[in-house]
Amino acid sequence: MSNPGSPESQPVNEPDRSFKDILSQFEESKTRKPAEAGKGREGTVIAVTVDSVLVDIGFKTEGILPLAAFQGAGETVKPGDKLVVSIKGRDPEGYYELTRGRIERPKDWASLEKAFAEKTTIVGTVTAVVKGGLSVDVGVRAFMPASRSGCRDAAEMEKLVEQEIRCRITKLDAAEEDVVVDRRIVAEEEERAGKDRRYSEVKEGATVHGTVRSLTDYGAFIDIGGVDALLHVSDISRSRVSKPVDVLSVGDEVEVKVLKIDPEKRRISVGLKQLGPDPWDSVTAKYKPGERARGTVTRVLGFGAFVELEPGLEGLIHISEMSWGKKVRTPTDVVKPGENVEAVILGVNPGERRISLGLKQALGDPWADVAQKFAVGSVIEGPVTSLTKFGAFVQLSEGVEGMIHISDMSAEKRINHPQDMLKVGQLVKAQVLEVDTERRRLKLGMKQLVPTSIEEYIAERREGDVVSGRVMEIAGGQARVELGEGIQGMCRVPAEAAEKKSEEERQAGSKPDLSSLSSMLQARWKGGAAGGPSTPEGVRPGQIRSFRVAKLDPAMKKIDLELA
């Protein structure tokens, strides 16, 4: 129903009035203060838009309320709701600007003094911009300093002229009729009250609607109905987000989950990624040790590389799990950020949210068949990869190295340091001496490939050959026989064949004359029995005589003899 006292209640469609008169009246009504300004009245909500609530207040033109006024108070509004509102003025589009509730306009000095004493909010009308502030009609002329107007500049102050405002009297001098009012304090209190209501209404774990108000390097501030909440960069997405601006924009409307409320510091933390399922809840069912998985390298640090297996789920490839062969100095030598890799799952720890991955395991363990490929006794060839004080490391295949100890490098001379014989990169041949697959160790020897004099002697003889030698000593029925320089054999000697020293030899301590041994052996070495059978005298130390080869053992480098 139209109010007969309102300007818009008068008919405007009389046939004798021109369109120009009608338009002129309409334009005038847009700027004229309505007679109902400042008075409370009941209105009916007829529509709710994205940012405003349209209210039927009985005039031909609807009134308008900001939707934020309801959201800040945690209230919902829908068409048909009844509201008590007051008219502040009209906006440029001609709509009545409304405020909720009933605010009285002072009628006399007594009411002004009461409002000043009780610090209540009153209604006034801005009449003009004056030096230092604004002139406000609150029943009497009042002054409002520019700093207490709530305006940022002169242009905003100009817009307040002829507008109804809510303010508080901060100074009242009846004798001088000096009244000072403050609009900013009212706005701050209303904002604070709205925030207090919102803080008391928001609960941890609740899902709320909000708007991105600003972005920083560490997160985004979300307006969740008059209160700002921090959406930290780590809570934006399950995937790693470097900067919030890569994902969000100011003005975006989002649904977030309230993670934590700190009433003392008045801080609210919210999360976006928490609205979806946590991949760690099902990690043990999806990823099992020993299985292969593919992912993208997200970060490379000094100790390893992180691989994203799925959004919100990362595993670590430690630097020690990147290569079987070469020693990796830095992970960037093997992988780069953004690279897609295949790895083997080594371990899963949901409690600590850790997944251990192995890159080298995906290539296969080169030590799995080392015992078959490099059997003990076999000969290998490979480059020297490094030298140490105690030996040299030789690469046998990708990921497999063997070590030649310094004592196994030469049988002819003493080696003080491996570099006296070898250098890095040099190709060498060596014999496999020992294989330990559990400790991943392979022992090699070079000197074992160089024939010794006894090996040559054994290679040139056959069992049954008759050879010459010098009896060195007799003990326990065995005679140790020198067959050549560094070559010895053992001969079993019956007790009756061993000749004891004469009494003169024992007393004098004399030794047999062996000065002719070398020349005698040299003359008889190749001839074997050609020198004739030995004399039938008994076997004694120092004696040079003939022996028959009973057994040759090349592996043990052992020669067994018998008397010829």
pLDDT at 162: 86
307, 321 in Cβ contact below 8 A? no
pLDDT at 413: 77
Domain count, the chain: 6
Residue 57 lies in a domain: yes
Residue 194 lies in a domain: no
Going by C-alpha positions, the residue among 155, 165, 79, 163 that lies closest to residue 122 is 165
pLDDT at 215: 92
Residues 459, 517 share a domain: yes
- Which band of pLDDT confidence, cut at 50, 70 and 90, is reported for residue 103? low
- Which band of pLDDT confidence, cut at 50, 70 and 90, is reported for residue 101? low
Q: Residue 210 class from Cβ within 10 Å (0-12 exposed, 13-18 middle, 19+ buried)?
A: buried
Higher pLDDT: 498 or 340? It is 340
Residue-wise pLDDT for 179-216, tens only, equals 999 999 988 887 777 777 777 778 888 888 889 999 99
Residues 498, 529 share a domain: yes
What is the span of the domain harbouring residue 358?
279-363
pLDDT above 60 for 10: no
Q: What is the pTM of this model?
A: 0.44
Residues 500, 404 share a domain: no
What is the length of the chain? Answer: 564
- The mean pLDDT value for 128-141 works out to 90
pLDDT at 112: 87
pLDDT at 478: 92
Going by C-alpha positions, the residue among 281, 287, 293 that lies closest to residue 351 is 281
d(CA 228, CA 220): 10
Residue 2 lies in a domain: no
Residues 555, 459 share a domain: yes
Residues 461, 559 share a domain: yes
pLDDT above 90 for 144: yes
- What is the full DSSP assignment across 458-478? HHH--TT-EEEEEEEEEETTE
Q: What is the CATH number of the domain that holds 318?
A: 2.40.50.140
pLDDT above 50 for 28: no
User: Which distant-in-sequence residues (6+ apart) come within 8 Å of 504 by Cβ?
Assistant: 510
Residue 197 lies in a domain: no
Residues 254, 235 share a domain: yes
- Which band of pLDDT confidence, cut at 50, 70 and 90, is reported for residue 270? very high
Residue 227 lies in a domain: yes
Residues 38, 81 share a domain: yes
Residues of the chain above pLDDT 70, percent: 83
User: Last residue of a domain, which of 330, 363, 396?
Assistant: 363
The whole-chain average pLDDT of the chain stands at 80
Higher pLDDT: 240 or 464? It is 464
- Which band of pLDDT confidence, cut at 50, 70 and 90, is reported for residue 102? low
305, 275 in Cβ contact below 8 A? no
Residues 477, 537 share a domain: yes
User: Last residue of a domain, which of 154, 189, 224?
Assistant: 189
Going by C-alpha positions, the residue among 202, 194, 312 that lies closest to residue 257 is 202
pLDDT at 33: 46
> Locate tokens 């921090």: which residue?
230
pLDDT at 489: 93
Q: What is the dihedral of CA 40, 46, 48, 54, to 10 degrees?
A: -40
Residues of the chain above pLDDT 90, percent: 27
- Which band of pLDDT confidence, cut at 50, 70 and 90, is reported for residue 32? very low
pLDDT above 90 for 535: no
Residue-wise pLDDT for 52-79, tens only, equals 888 888 887 888 888 877 765 567 788 8
- Which band of pLDDT confidence, cut at 50, 70 and 90, is reported for residue 467? very high
pLDDT above 80 for 501: no
Q: Are strands 427-436 and 400-405 parallel, antiparallel or unpaired?
A: unpaired
pLDDT above 90 for 470: yes
pLDDT at 449: 83
Residue 82 lies in a domain: yes
- Which band of pLDDT confidence, cut at 50, 70 and 90, is reported for residue 168? very high
- The mean pLDDT value for 454-464 works out to 86
For residue 489 the two structure tokens come to: 């054999």
pLDDT at 491: 93
Residue 21 lies in a domain: yes
Residues 499, 418 share a domain: no
Whole-Å CA distances, 107 to 104, 122, 128, 169:
9, 11, 21, 14
Residues 78, 164 share a domain: no
- Which band of pLDDT confidence, cut at 50, 70 and 90, is reported for residue 325? low
Residues 550, 463 share a domain: yes
Residue-wise pLDDT for 275-292, tens only, equals 888 888 888 888 999 899
- The mean pLDDT value for 19-38 works out to 46
Residues 556, 458 share a domain: yes
Other Cβ atoms closer than 10 A to 458: 19
pLDDT at 72: 57
Strands (E), 174-303: 178-182, 207-215, 219-223, 228-232, 253-262, 267-271, 292-301
User: Last residue of a domain, which of 275, 301, 322?
Assistant: 275
Residue 429 lies in a domain: yes
Residue-wise pLDDT for 118-131, tens only, equals 888 888 889 999 99
User: Which distant-in-sequence residues (6+ apart) come within 8 Å of 495 by Cβ?
Assistant: 477
